[in-house]
Structure 1
């Protein structure tokens, strides 16, 4: 699948290749069941590590926003039903800063399905701008980790590995502290 994607990109000029990659990523985000791994891999092989990572990030961010709008429009009447689901109740019933932090945290945590976060956020009270910012910032570590997985962590210099670890911890610690503080303040 990666080879076919790269073959398609090879047949396009650079601007159309970028546009096509972002468009495919948006489509995958709206569907919510196909992993974007092969798009990220194709982007890295075709555009290089940093260019491919950036294009994948842009596609993931725009894709999440488009999916958010479509899910919100389609599930407008389903909010009540979703708020009874134990695992999604916290996000569905949240708004403002709490919803922002929850989305940010859920995006940063590996292996939380992106479509599920977008779906739950779409029936919550969060504004689209807050969703977009929280989702995009939270996707940075996820896309970088995916890119590093594809590219091969051992190909990078030890100093870059160390910098990425420090950056990830630096992002996670304040988010987790805020959520814990907020949670215990409510009780």
Structure 2
């Protein structure tokens, strides 16, 4: 964590700006896990302030991504016509009001729903930016509490246990990748 060590002598506002910027970029990418930013925030700022910055960064990132995805989809709208996956997005496009609010909230609470896909689907719907911002942020808070607590706990472990947990996570990720790849090949 050399960046954290480098920032230790710098003004706190610089670390806050870097944390929020990285969180926003991760949200815009849509596929990169944010646990690393949460871990860095907790190490540098402590549990409470680190958790708050993680929530703020993810909320800002989700809203900025929502706006950018919506603009991109409007530009692509005329070029998309016969893709099968678009039928689901067409159904989501009709979602609005309280139904859209609850849908985003529930999808954010569901731990395995990819954040980028939730944002993409919401940006394709007719829900407003403020409705998305509120429901997305409320839905993210429980997930970030669990993530922050898990990161805080793992950071308290001995180095050997941390390495074992990281090795297990990598092995599980590789197994999952191959399992899904093989399932796709068998379906064809």
In the other structure, the counterpart of 1:55 is 53
Indicate if the aligned counterparts of 1:91 and 1:124 stay in contact, CA closer than 8 A. yes
Match of 2:5 in 1: 7
The CA distance in 2 between the partners of 1:125 and 1:118, in whole Å, is 13
Shift of 1:31: 1.1
Question: 1:82·1:88 contact (CA, 8 Å) conserved in 2?
Answer: no
1:145 maps to 146
Size of the aligned set, in residue pairs, is 152
| 2:43 equivalent in structure 1 | 45
Q: Is the 8 A contact 1:28 1:36 kept in 2?
A: yes
Offset at 1:107?
Answer: 0.5
Where does the alignment leave 5 or more consecutive residues of structure 1 unmatched? 156-187
Match of 1:24 in 2: 22
Aligned-pair Cα RMSD in Å: 2.2
- List runs of 5+ in structure 2 lacking aligned partners: 157-188
The SS at the match of 1:33 is coil
* TM-score w.r.t. length of structure 1: 0.74
CA deviation after TM superposition for structure 1 residue 78, in Å: 4.6
In 2: Cα distance, 1:75 partner to 1:81 partner: 15
Alignment of 1:64-103 (within 5 A): 64-78=62-76, 85=86, 88=89, 90-103=91-104
Q: Which residue of 1 aligns with 2:137?
A: 136
Q: Give 1:33 shift.
A: 1.9
Cα deviation, residue 10, structure 1: 2.2
Task: For residue 22 of structure 2, give the secondary structure of its aligned residue in structure 1.
Answer: helix
